[in-house]
Structure 1
Amino acid sequence: MHQKSLVVPRVGGVLSAAVLGSLLAVPQAAAADVTCSTGVHKRTFYKNTSFSGSPVRTDCDSTISESWTGKPVSGVPSDNFGVRWSVTRDFGSGGPFAFTASATDGVRVYLDGVRKINLWTNTGNTARSKSVNLTVPSGRHTIRVDYVNWSGAAKVKHTYTPRTAATYDRTRPLAPTGVKTAYNTKTRKSTVSWSANKEMDLASYALYRRPVGSSTWTKVTTTTGRSHTDPLVNSDDRTPYYYEVRAKDKAGNTSSGSTDTIVRPLPVVTSLTGTYAKATGKVTLKWPLNTEPHFDHYTVLSNDKVNGSYVWVPLGTTKGNTWTTGPVAADGETRHYRVLVSNDAGTTTYNPHWLEAGAANELWLSIPDGIAPAYAPDLALGSCASGIQATATDYTPAPIRDFTGLEIERRATGTGTGTWTVVLHQGYDRRGDHATATVCDSLPADGRTHEYRARTYDAAGNYSPSSEIRAVTVPVG
């Protein structure tokens, strides 16, 4: 097989000092300002084998595995050129690694500037390889690979991989970092997320949970992902929990736990009652007082009409378990109230815009109707077979009538302070154009004078103003 020649100037059969120095020292020339992604090599091409002068080209290379025939890139000769790769990365906890190199001609591998592989001889077109087992300390380290091709085909490969057999790897992974929790007030479930571990031999993560006040950890899940929603913390569980994440490598080593992160599920209002006081017109709300250590305060809301739409309007906050509103119109309508809970982490009960009749923290309270019919009916008197005929009539159109019946009262004249007696209290025929009711009031024919008045009433027992008082005298029989 044809052997490639190592073309190096000699003086008296000995390498010149200048050339020998350049081969051994191989100072790194300043590379172009190229930034590569994490774990990706910066690669520089030189048109010499001493890595001197400015690079012809600088780029990024994720894998060192090349087989060039002719010029590797424009501006670099086919023979007598050099290529340098360099990468600085975080090795996490470190541990046992296998470094391998395969190349025609010269290849050297350095870890933090210390040479670990040295294959620096003329090999012709036949590549040879070498593998070394190293223990890489934890943290960030720099790998550098120098390759030179003196002539002919140029082939070079390099890898560094963790040794994952339990026989060799007894280094625990680093504990996961960046653990965050998010509590969904609607589903009342906790989502835990964390940052990617820097280990190159990571196998999985395990999420653990324990109640505050307990020292027992329960494994929630094992995953290769970096987040998990815990289905066990639900609407019926208001216990605060600590979460931690542990990493496991391919050799079976498990890290210590991450920094414990607390999730405080919301306390909830389990029932809400209320009463309306007619005397003051105020509503008083009551609910069970929460005693959870992470309880902070309540927010009381009323569903009111604002700019034409009903919205939940905060009335105020309290740490107690009662609330009295301002005066509420006694209009016979249903009022809606809601009480939210906030914990000491600043999370508040889910508060949808709409009404939820079945929600334990929501009250639908019927307010008594205290609004009387607006107008008095007309009253007409006449005679009937046994006394006085009294007729009450209201001309309000049927669609806007605010009463359910008519009432007529009578009293004897004299002092003007006599007691009124109800002689008619009944509903009206809703098919008629007018609301009317008539009574024949049986009275003795003794020549006495009586006064009558009429009014309407609604279903809540509210009465309209009375009509004008009309008097009539019964003839002597």
Structure 2
Amino acid sequence: MHPKSLVAARTGGVMSAVVLGSLLVAVPQAEAAGVPKAAAAGSACSANVYKRTFYKNTAFSGKPVKTDCDSAVDQKWSGAPVAGVPKDKFGVRWSVTRDFGSGGPFTFAVSATDGVRVYLDGVRKIDLWKNTGDTARSKSVNLTIPSGKHTLRVDYVNWSGAAKVAYAYKPRTAAKYDKVKPLAPTGVKTAYNVKSRKTTVSWSANKEMDLGNYSLYRRPVNSNAWTKVATTTARTHTDPLVNPDDRTPYYYEVRAKDKAGNVSTGSADTIVRPLPVVASLTGSYDPKTGKVSLKWPLNTEPHFDHYTVLSNDEPNKVGTWVPLGTTRGNTWTTAPVVPDGEWRHYRVLVTNDNGTTTYSWHGLSAGSADEVWLEVPDRVAPVYTPDVTLRSCAGGVGVTVDGILTSFRDFTGAAIERRERGTGAWSVIARKEFPPRGDSTVSVCDPLPADGRAYEYRARTYDKAGNHSPYSTVVATTYPMPVPTPEPDLGERTASSGR
């Protein structure tokens, strides 16, 4: 937030008033505080301080006799202004480039003997170019300065007699003239004290010249309602709010108000997290070592203390988050995990130096930045080997594989194979994928020629990674299949025997 305030009094900021003839002139506060008005110029002058050059002619030609820095255009010379410059027919030029913030209405005022011209970005705004001897005359103009940086230049010449010149610029702060909002403040920083559970907010000085004050606002991250915390002319403030639990984050913003009553938009919202968070968590599985490596951005908040790494390997149940250990670094490598194709879940919590730790919900949270889900490649074969039963069917042998519900074992399908006894080649005669929680039965009628040849059957399950279980016991039959001999009816035998 950048209210239209004058830059703070350091090297020519807030202005105080002096009188030159009938002209009210703004003088930088630095001079009033005893800071030397002019200093030798190095490569550049301080912010908002004029660069001043002296010429031994009135055309500002040739190399300047002297160059220095001047906090204000306000001079009276009865003789030569500096060594090497004559007391008459000399020229002095002042120039400064400064940031006017949002800009707005300003007054340029000048009073001088002989010749004086005032320029804004190279465009002449005041022109009093006449030899007046010892008599000074004044002029002021009202104009609007656009936002941003602009260059002011004052050219003064003395043809004869006493040399007097004064120039000042100041904002017009009356509400009827100034309708320009200050710029939003920038450079907002926050500091959280874990002992008091209070937040201190600071921000950069505005570039404006008519600052009235700043207002500090706060809102919880889950709310759109702002609460005014304070109104101040300072650039730092400690929020009296005591954070309830070290876990509640708040947004802060600063707004500026100028002397005309215009209020800026808010600064960029700055979040305060009393408890630092893991902004993102990534992980990878190393098939050579069987270990999972975790990585996250390292927290640099002064109230950060350590991380806790947890794992949860029971995705189909309620699950339990088990702590693996703590670290102050931002990487972690687990012990080897079983490559069974299951998902592994990891979470990293933060503890601040007040002993408060990130709340850890008991369940999984796919959208949490501090949580990562990894599917470990499946290199473990299913342990379930199905049973094969044979029966007669129309035109062949009926083969059935009876499984169990898929939610209780690590396989996703089953395959049935057949070969003629005495040969080496097995052929797949049926293959079936099972629904996630459905029945896992495979049944097929295998058409065969009725020539009495013998055939063998076997089956095995497989998982989605292509791993296969051991084969079932081989069962054999001929086709056509032998008709089973019916067992005698013991009841009929008993009746016929008279028993």
> TM-score scaled to structure 2, two decimals?
0.49
Task: Structure 1: state its 5+ residue gaps.
Answer: 1-30, 269-295, 298-312, 326-341, 352-358, 362-477
Letter matched to residue 141 of structure 1: H
Q: Distance in 2 between matches of 1:242 and 1:114?
A: 45
Shift of 1:204: 0.8
> Structure 1 residue 348 and structure 2 residue 352: aligned?
yes
Task: State the distance in 2 between where 1:112 and 1:155 align.
Answer: 24
Contact kept? 1:48, 1:81, Cα under 8 Å: yes
Please name the residue that 1:181 is paired with. 190
Counterpart in 2 of 1:61?
Answer: 70
Task: Please say if residues 32 and 55 of structure 1, whose CA atoms lie closer than 8 Å, have aligned partners that are also in contact.
Answer: no
Q: Which residue of 2 aligns with 1:195?
A: 204
Assess if the C-alpha contact under 8 Å between 2:92 and 2:157 holds in 1.
Answer: yes
Task: Note the 1:85-96 alignment, pairs <5 A.
Answer: 85-96=94-105
CA distance in 2, matches of 1:110, 1:91: 15
Q: Given that residues 107 and 118 in structure 1 are in contact (C-alpha distance below 8 angstroms), is that contact kept between their aligned partners in structure 2?
A: yes
The alpha carbon displacement at 1:102 in A equals 0.4
Paired residues for 1:95-106 under 5 Å:
95-106=104-115
Deviates more, 1:210-219 or 1:141-150: 210-219
Matched position secondary structure for 1:71: coil
Quick check: 1:225 aligned with 2:234? yes
* Partner residue in 1 for 2:89: 80
| Pairwise CA RMSD | 3.1
For residues 292-319 of structure 1, what are the alpha-carbon distances to aligned partners after superposition, in whole Å with 9 as ceiling and x for unaligned? xxxx99xxxxxxxxxxxxxxx9896448
Q: Distance in 2 between matches of 1:43 and 1:347?
A: 58
Q: Structure 1 residues 70 and 126 mapped into 2: Cα distance closer, same or farther (>3 Å)?
A: same
Report the count of equivalent residues.
Answer: 265
CA contact (8 A) 2:351 2:357 kept: no
Q: Secondary structure at the match of 2:190?
A: strand
After superposition, the C-alpha distances for 1:212-261 in whole angstroms (9 at most, x for unaligned) are 12111110001111111112033546321111110111111000001111
Residues 316/210 of structure 1: CA separation in 2 closer, same or farther (3 Å cut): closer
Do the aligned partners of 2:257 and 2:263 also contact (CA within 8 Å) in 1? yes
**Residue 101 of structure 1, CA deviation:** 0.6
Cα displacement string for residues 6-60 of structure 1 (whole angstroms, at most 9, x for unaligned residues): xxxxxxxxxxxxxxxxxxxxxxxxx986411111000000000000000000000
CA distance in 1, matches of 2:91, 2:186: 41
CA separation in 2, counterparts of 1:150 and 1:245? 52
1:243 counterpart residue number = 252
**Corresponding residue of 1:108:** 117
2:272 — aligned with what? 263
Matched residue type, 1:244: E
Higher relative contact order (CA 8 A, sep 6+): 2
| CA distance 1:315–1:264, shift in 2 (3 Å) | closer
Partner of residue 126 from structure 1, selected from 121, 135, 152 = 135
Tell me, yes or no, if the aligned pair for 1:266 and 1:349 is still in contact at 8 Å: no
Structure 1 residue 186: Cα displacement = 2.5
User: Partner of 1:48: helix, strand, or coil?
Assistant: coil
Task: Call closer, same or farther: CA 1:343–1:181 in 2, change over 3 Å.
Answer: farther
Letter in 2 for 1:348: N
* Aligned partners of 2:194 and 2:353 also within 8 Å: yes
The normalised TM-score by structure 1 is 0.51
CA distance in 2 between counterparts of 1:257 and 1:212 reads: 16
Unpaired runs of 5+ in structure 2? Answer: 1-39, 278-297, 300-304, 312-319, 326-346, 359-499
Output one character per residue of 1:62-100: Cα deviation in whole Å (capped at 9) or x when no partner: 111001110111111100000000000000000000000
**d(CA) in 2 for partners of 1:38 and 1:360?**
46
Secondary structure of the 1:166 match is coil
Contact 1:96 / 1:135 at 8 angstroms: preserved in 2? yes
Larger Cα-atom Rg: 1
Q: Distance in 2 between matches of 1:147 and 1:204?
A: 37
Counterparts in 2 of 1:193 and 1:68: CA distance versus 1, 3 Å? same
Cα distance in 1 for partners of 2:257, 2:348 equals 34
Counterpart Cα distance in 2 of 1:45 and 1:231: 55
